[in-house]
A = this chain, B = another copy of it.
Amino acid sequence: MTESQSASGDLEMIVHGPSGRNKPETRLWLRMLSTTKLITTEIRRRLRAEFGATLPQFDLMAQLYRETDGLRLGELSKRTMVTNGNVTGLVERLETDGLVKRVTPDKDRRVTVAQLTPAGTELFTAMAAAHEGWLRELFADLDAETVNALWSDIGRVKSSASNHLSGSEVE
């Protein structure tokens, strides 16, 4: 349970040295960053091991799962923070695997949208259930109150950061 159990190469320790030297906000940020990286790395590992999938594939399928009418590739790129070029390659790969198809919707014959196939929907449903289980497992040592307090407090971090983005200084 000690901090030293964290993976070697822990950002929190290595970016700016032991956290005692840092201001509280910097110390908190480095801990948020290192914790997020630790969990993201673990989720990548499990997606690959259990489904042979990458995190961008999972994110992309999550978008298509929500939008049963399908999404244009440009819109998929925006929603997943995957670049336009990479989205094309990802969709082609998923198409080859029979998980995604590209169709021209009746309501607008000029565009092409990507949709999950039934096989894609089935696979994503299994991945999402596994993903939820992994998080329950990774967070298992926390009680419900801590999970709720964190959700609320991180919401305040997000609001604060949103209020102080460079773009919001124009006001």
List residues of chain A with CB under 8 Å of any chain B CB. 1-3, 5-9, 11, 14-17, 22-29, 31-40, 42, 45-46, 49, 59, 62-63, 66, 78-79, 81, 128, 131-132, 135-142, 144, 146-151, 153-166
Contact = CB atoms under 8 A, between A and B. Distances in A.
Contacts of A159: 1-3, 5, 141
A151 B16 contact: no
Given A38-B158, A79-B9, A24 B147 contact: yes
A139 B36 contact: no
A143 B127 CA distance: 39
Provide the main secondary structure of the chain A interface: helix
A139 B28 CA distance: 10
Given A33-B40, A79-B14, A157-B35, A164 B137 contact: yes
